[in-house]
């Protein structure tokens, strides 16, 4: 191959490289522009849930939490692994169109039509889906879960770092890791504050065992999604608690 041909190939490769860099830069500028003019969503965080159609499974149970600067998307594919697929990233709202972007790749994940009480999943052309499956693209706002999450933000500001609870019998645990370093155990009949010990870790479990003049508490936490049996709130961890060596009680918890 003569020098002229080599020079032409190098020139073509250089043109391709420059074009690629320009496309990346333009895409980034567009994305930054979208972020800059994004509209606000009131009363964050908000939660939407529903059932989306699935090409190779009965349906997808879908759950999305929209917070001030991020979103968390959870998808359960029916008749498959019980654990959800999880995706996080950033969102942009403009002209009633909500776009969510993958936090790792910065790529567009989904596009929705947004109103205060519903999200409607749009197709790839950002148009509403019509026909028999149209209703399966509509997500409902969970007023109760949104309210609970706002209450959790208030508890976080008060110094609570981990929250857990269970029903029948009712109990509640609040852990402060950084400030008072306490484990607060509450029931309808009692409210006891224990000193927070060092956590013990075994496989995928965390343990805390603490005691004072009022008795002892052992708390066990596992990272696995858990839905509260009364409110339906979706927690990130399953929790068991044993008071004074008694019966083991089941519940759910999350780090705030």
The residue ranges of every structural domain in the chain are 1-36, 46-141, 156-255
Residue 10 vs residues 7, 24, 68, 92: alpha-carbon distances, Å: 5, 21, 48, 40
pLDDT at position 102 is 95
pLDDT at position 116 is 83
Asked if 241 contacts 218 with a C-beta cutoff of 8 angstroms, the reply is yes
Could you tell me the two tokens for 152?
Answer: 């959790």
Is the sign of the CA dihedral 218, 184, 229, 100 positive or negative?
A: negative
CA–CA gap between residue 158 and residue 152 (Å, rounded): 10
pLDDT at position 131 is 84
pLDDT at position 43 is 87
pLDDT at position 17 is 58
Instruction: Note the pTM of the prediction, 2 decimals.
Output: 0.74
Asked if 181 contacts 165 with a C-beta cutoff of 8 angstroms, the reply is no
Could you tell me the two tokens for 57?
Answer: 């499974």
pLDDT at position 210 is 93
pLDDT at position 7 is 62
Q: What is the pLDDT along the chain (256 residues), one digit of tens a residue?
A: 566 666 666 666 667 656 656 554 454 545 444 445 678 888 899 999 999 998 888 899 999 999 988 999 999 998 887 889 999 999 999 989 999 999 999 999 999 999 888 999 999 899 999 888 888 899 999 989 999 999 999 999 999 999 999 998 999 999 999 888 999 999 999 899 999 988 899 888 999 999 999 899 999 999 999 989 888 899 999 999 999 988 899 999 999 9
Is the sign of the CA dihedral 157, 159, 161, 165 positive or negative?
A: negative
CA–CA gap between residue 136 and residue 133 (Å, rounded): 5
List helix spans (H) across 77-172.
Answer: 143-157
pLDDT at position 24 is 47
Could you tell me the two tokens for 82?
Answer: 């019980």
Asked: is 46-141 a CATH 2.40.128.640 domain? The reply is yes
Angle at 49 between CA 47 and CA 55, to 5 degrees: 140
């Amino acid at each position: 191959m003569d020098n002229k041909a080599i020079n032409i190939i190098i020139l073509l490769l250089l043109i391709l490289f420059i074009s690629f860099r320009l496309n990346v830069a333009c895409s980034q500028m567009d994305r930054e522009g979208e972020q800059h003019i994004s509209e606000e969503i009131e009363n964050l965080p908000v939660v939407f849930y529903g059932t989306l159609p699935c090409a190779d499974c009965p349906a997808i149970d879908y759950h999305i939490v929209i917070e001030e600067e991020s979103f968390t998307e959870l998808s359960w594919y029916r008749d498959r692994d019980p654990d959800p697929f999880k995706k996080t990233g950033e969102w942009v709202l403009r002209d009633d169109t909500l776009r969510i972007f993958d936090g790792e790749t910065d790529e567009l994940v989904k596009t929705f039509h947004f109103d205060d009480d519903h999200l409607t999943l749009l197709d790839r052309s950002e148009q509403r889906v019509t026909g028999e499956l149209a209703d399966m693209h509509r997500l409902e706002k969970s007023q109760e879960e949104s309210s609970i999450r706002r209450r959790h933000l208030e508890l976080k500001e008060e110094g609570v770092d981990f929250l857990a609870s269970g029903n029948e019998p009712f109990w509640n645990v609040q852990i402060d890791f950084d400030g008072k370093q306490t484990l607060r155990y509450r029931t309808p009949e009692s409210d006891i504050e224990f000193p927070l010990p060092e956590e013990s870790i075994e496989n995928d479990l965390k343990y805390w065992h603490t005691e004072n003049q009022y008795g002892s508490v052992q708390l066990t936490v596992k990272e696995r999604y858990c839905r509260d049996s009364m409110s339906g709130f979706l927690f990130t961890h399953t929790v068991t608690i044993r008071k004074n060596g008694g019966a083991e009680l089941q519940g759910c918890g999350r780090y705030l």
